[in-house]
Amino acid sequence: MNSLKFQTNMHIGKNIINPKNILVIRLGAMGDIIHVIPAVKNVREALPECNIAWLVEDKIKDLVETVPGVDEVIVFPRKRWQAWLKRPGRYFQIISEMIVFFRQLRAKKYDVVLDFHGNFKSGILGYLSASKIRAGFSRGYCKEFNYLFTNVRIAPQQKAMHRIEKYLSLVRGLGIKAHYQKPVFSLSEQDRSYINDFILQNQLDQKPMAILHPGTSLFGKYKRWSPEKYAQLSDKLIEEFGYAVVFTWSGKEYDIAEDIRSRMRFPATISCKTASVKQLIALLQRASLYIGGDTGPTHLASCLGIPTIAIFGPKDPVIYAPYDDNSLVVRKDIDCSPCEKRRCDHVTCIHSITPDDVYAKVCELRKKRSLTF
């Protein structure tokens, strides 16, 4: 088995160990989970006999469950605990659950924690695991004083680098020769059959399918492109290329898809409910084209090899764009973009993108990949 070589900026020298038990911490969200997977795959290849556990929040656990090479998925029940905090009668139960949770985490006796998340919460979780080696990013490359909870700190070569490369740099800093590898997902026949039934029932197998995902999380609502523009673009995709247009959604995003469809001249389909990320993956794998904003499903489509157009507003594509070469980004160069703001009075960066801008990128991608769909 390969050994891990650790070099810290705490001047404690080099520690060479053969870890048997590793805890990966990346709690969410979907896009970030996808970006961490290549790093974890490299750890698995370097340490084939090691047990790898992944600590993730409850709302995204099913994505991690699809990742080959992860031996155990540990769920951090943030969603449930947050709901209970609104009910004072549940406080005692929360405290009791927390005590049990952290006691069980410590009982795993992890040799190494790999903190890819890099914030206060992940730092606390890593620290309370009682692992002697807690690797994360150095000051300036993490948030909320995370570096105070790690004792092996890796400084990436630069700040403005893609998230995938940043996460790979953590693994490289531990002595593993890491390189980018496409994520691979394991799906059940039940999930595939569910999507296949939806496609057959709506006769979507008779034309190339273009999937458009117009929603984002409520947290990222400011990154949404308008329904009117999605409608205009969708009509053009149908009229010019004969696509069967399908709108994907989750949670309360169904109303957004319905709004878009109501504005269109041509018929389009709203996807079935995807009760898990596994079902969403099964649906995306049937697409010939994907278009969406700066959100998790966009990164998922791209890493699956689906020709992808990402509509970017405030975020920096150097850091956050889909990583694969089957993807193109459409954005506007304006004075205040990119930025890291969570709120904006105008969001000109996203609203100034026109349907023709996105359509031009579709044509460019088709030409680039010699696509005839």
pLDDT band at 372 (very low <50, low <70, confident <90, very high): low
How confident is the model over 183-194, as pLDDT tens digits? Answer: 999 999 999 999
| pLDDT above 70: percentage of residues in the chain | 95
Residue ranges of alpha helices (H) inside 47-90 are: 61-64, 78-85
pLDDT band at 17 (very low <50, low <70, confident <90, very high): low
Residue 299 burial (C-beta neighbours within 10 Å; 0-12, 13-18, 19+) = buried
pLDDT band at 8 (very low <50, low <70, confident <90, very high): very low
What integer pLDDT is reported at residue 62 of this predicted model? 95
pLDDT band at 85 (very low <50, low <70, confident <90, very high): confident
- Name the pairing type of β-strands 289-293 and 269-270: unpaired
The number of CA neighbours under 13 Å toward the Cβ of 41 is: 17
Cis peptide before 338 (omega within 30 of 0): yes
For residue 155, the tally of other CB atoms under 10 A from its CB is 14
Per-residue pLDDT, averaged over 56-83, amounts to 94
How confident is the model over 145-184, as pLDDT tens digits? Answer: 999 999 999 999 998 999 999 999 999 999 999 999 999 9
How confident is the model over 334-354, as pLDDT tens digits? Answer: 888 898 887 787 889 999 999
Mean pLDDT of the chain: 92
- The pair of structure tokens assigned to 363 is 């044509």
Q: Which amino acid is at 160?
A: A
- Whole-number Å distance between alpha carbons of 322 and 294: 9
| pLDDT above 90: percentage of residues in the chain | 82
CB 69 within 8 A of CB 44: yes
Instruction: List, as one string, the DSSP characters of 183-217.
Output: ------HHHHHHHHHHHHHTTGGGS-EEEEE----
Cis peptide before 46 (omega within 30 of 0): no
Residue ranges of alpha helices (H) inside 86-215 are: 91-107, 120-128, 163-172, 189-201
| H or E element, residue 247 | strand 244-247
pLDDT band at 13 (very low <50, low <70, confident <90, very high): very low
- Does residue 254 carry a pLDDT above 90? yes
Q: What is the largest CA-CA distance in the chain?
A: 67
Q: Which of 322, 9, 2, 354 is nearest to 177 (CA)?
A: 2
For residue 15, the tally of other CB atoms under 10 A from its CB is 15
- The pair of structure tokens assigned to 11 is 């001047």
Three-state DSSP state, 95? helix
The CATH number corresponding to 189-368 among 3.30.365.10, 3.40.50.2000, 2.40.50.100, 3.40.190.10 equals: 3.40.50.2000
- The pair of structure tokens assigned to 175 is 């002595």
- Does residue 4 carry a pLDDT above 60? no
- Does residue 14 carry a pLDDT above 90? no
- The pair of structure tokens assigned to 343 is 């709120």
How confident is the model over 216-249, as pLDDT tens digits? Answer: 988 888 899 999 999 999 999 999 999 999 999 9
What integer pLDDT is reported at residue 15 of this predicted model? 41
Which residues belong to CATH 3.40.50.2000 in the chain?
A: 4-172, 189-368
What class has domain 4-172? alpha beta
Per-residue pLDDT, averaged over 312-336, amounts to 93
